[in-house]
Amino acid sequence: MTKSAAPRKYDHVAVLMGGLSAEREVSLRSGEACSNALESAGYRVTRVDAGRDLAQRLAGLKPDVCFNALHGRWGEDGCVQGVLELMGLPYTHSGVLASALAMHKERAKQVMRAAGVPVAEGRVVLRAEAAKAHALPRPYVLKPVTEGSSVGVFIVREDHAHPPQELNDPNWSLGEELLAERFIPGRELTCGVMGDRVLGVIEILPAETLGFYNYEAKYAAGGSRHLLPAPVSPNVYELVQKLTLTAHKALGCRGVSRADFRYDDTPGGTGEMVCLEVNTQPGMTATSLVPELAAHAGLTFAELVSWMVEEASCNR
């Protein structure tokens, strides 16, 4: 049981996991970890692999609340949130608009820029265009506009004569629009928000065998090291926290979110701080960042997911 003595609003929790996106396997791991933690906290948990029959399954289960452990398209982009709103089922994380907005990286950048959060310069390009010629001066980054977990991300460096040839793959399934952004050298920093409370700042160091903080670095054992608190100056640490909370509020996020940054403190660098994106449903696996940030703030994993459940609602 958690240490909280507050009365609970909910008992039966449906944990939505798996789903239909490219991040299905990560979602299954997040969902299982959250399910186990919620059971240890005393909730009655039903694990639901979210397919196209989700509404029918939930209608039969009649849970009190849904813990949304889905990642990527359909689960994190407002689609499932709309289904739950129609059914009148309270759910965790952000609502329809904030989820859709944050998932579309270019639209999210527009909102964050207007709120005073610095973002990387870039433009949206069609996959066919990006495959034929460099979308920006090298080095630059190419990534799907509406995917997460670094799925389909390419760093095109100065010595890359041609764009990524993977873009010509006939089996490409990550959308026809890509975001091309100027590459920002330096540190990878991340910070979380829990309600209106900003958490700490982590510096992420990918394993030396990996080129950047990619899918493997995020989810494979030994893929990265996390430095918490991040070894940066107090001013930089506080700036990351301030920008994280500003982005969370500007996008209309609810519950837990996490913002990722690049900080160029390289010799002769620009010193700039750039927000790459806001994750409205960050990973909740054993190697994930938000549980680590919560632990640093004094919360066990069970306390974190219990708070998320009790904070759940409709009309988010």
Residue 1 has a pLDDT of 42
75 is catalytic: no
Mean pLDDT, the chain, whole residue set: 92
Q: Clarify whether residues 230 and 109 are in a common domain.
A: yes
Catalytic, out of 18, 122, 152, 283? 283
How does pLDDT run across 41-98, given as a tens digit for each residue? 999 999 999 999 999 999 999 999 999 999 998 999 999 999 999 999 999 999 999 9
277 is catalytic: yes
283 is catalytic: yes
Q: Look up the domain containing 231 and give its range.
A: 102-119+185-280
Cβ atoms of 92 and 67 closer than 8 Å: yes
| Domain-located, residue 1 | no
Residue 146 has a pLDDT of 84
Catalytic, out of 68, 99, 149, 224? 149
Widest Cα–Cα separation across the chain: 61
Q: Clarify whether residues 110 and 217 are in a common domain.
A: yes
Q: Count other Cβ atoms within 10 Å, centred on residue 84.
A: 25
Catalytic, out of 76, 188, 277, 310? 277
Catalytic, out of 23, 147, 188, 292? 23
Q: Per-residue confidence at 206, pLDDT binned at 50, 70, 90?
A: confident
Q: Per-residue confidence at 150, pLDDT binned at 50, 70, 90?
A: low
258 is catalytic: yes
Catalytic, out of 187, 258, 262, 316? 258
Of the listed ranges 52-66, 135-149, 228-242, 286-300, the least confidently predicted one is: 135-149
Q: What is the rounded average pLDDT of the residues 22-33?
A: 94
CATH number at residue 83: 3.40.50.20
8 is catalytic: no
Q: Which residue has the higher pLDDT, 309 or 215?
A: 309
* DSSP-derived pairing of the beta strands 65-68 and 12-17: parallel
Q: Clarify whether residues 73 and 27 are in a common domain.
A: yes
Residue 2 has a pLDDT of 44
Q: Count other Cβ atoms within 10 Å, centred on residue 221.
A: 6
Q: How far apart are the first and last CA of the chain?
A: 28
Q: Clarify whether residues 106 and 202 are in a common domain.
A: yes
- Is 279 in a helix, a strand, or coil? strand
Reference 39, options 18, 60, 15, 57; nearest CA is: 15
Q: Clarify whether residues 18 and 127 are in a common domain.
A: no
Question: What are the start-end ranges of the E strands in the chain?
Answer: 12-17, 44-49, 65-68, 122-126, 140-144, 154-156, 177-182, 187-194, 197-206, 224-227, 256-263, 273-279
The two structure tokens encoding residue 313: 């609602």
23 is catalytic: yes
Q: Clarify whether residues 214 and 147 are in a common domain.
A: no
| Domain-located, residue 107 | yes
Q: Clarify whether residues 190 and 276 are in a common domain.
A: yes
| Domain-located, residue 316 | no
What residues contact 168, with CB distance under 8 A and at least 6 apart?
131
